[in-house]
Amino acid sequence: MRVLKSLAGESGSIRSKSELFEKYERCFQAVTKSYTHIKSLAPIVACQISNDDPTSRSEKLTIDGIHFTVDVERSTERALSDRPELQAVWFRLVAGEIVAPKLAKEVITLCGRVYAANKLEPWRYFRRNKYPERRAT
C-alpha cells in the first residue's frame, strides 16, 4: 500500500490516501452542512419562545455565523483558485446535487485539505474564540 505523510495529522502518523480522503470528506461534509445552515438563517428573528415546545426555538444569523461563512468562502476560493470550473461543482455539492464521482472527489480533496488546515470544522471553529486562554501563541 502506498502511503503519504499526513500534512494535517496532529500525531504526524503516516496515513494512506484513502484515510486522508476520508478525513477530508468528513471535514468537507461538516463544514458545508454548517455553511448551508448558517446561510439559511435570517439576520432578524421575531417569535415567541415557549419553554414547553423545543421546536419553537428560533435561530438568527450572528456575527460568528457571518465570520464562518466568509472564512468558508475565502478558503474555498483559495482551494479552487487554480481550477475555477470546480467552483460550480462545489455549489452543486453543497446544494446536495449529484455530481460525477471524479469531480466530487477532487473538490472534496482540495477543499477538505484547506478546511482542515484552517480548522473550519464547526466544533473547532466556534469553540476557538470562546477560550482565548487555550489558544496557542
| 20-35 pLDDT tens trace | 899 999 999 999 999 9
pTM of the predicted protein model: 0.74
Residues of the chain scoring pLDDT < 50: 1-10, 134-137
- The size of the chain, in residues, is 137
H or E element that contains 5: strand 3-5
Residue 52 within any structural domain of the chain: no
* Spatial separation of the C-alpha atoms in residues 137 and 135, rounded to whole Å: 6
Residues with Cβ within 8 Å of residue 71, at least 6 apart in sequence: 118, 120, 125
pLDDT score, position 68 = 93
Q: Is residue 124 part of a domain?
A: yes
| Number of domains comprising the chain | 1
Which residue segment(s) compose the domain that 102 sits in?
Answer: 17-39+62-130
Q: Is residue 10 part of a domain?
A: no
**Residue 119 resides in a domain:** yes
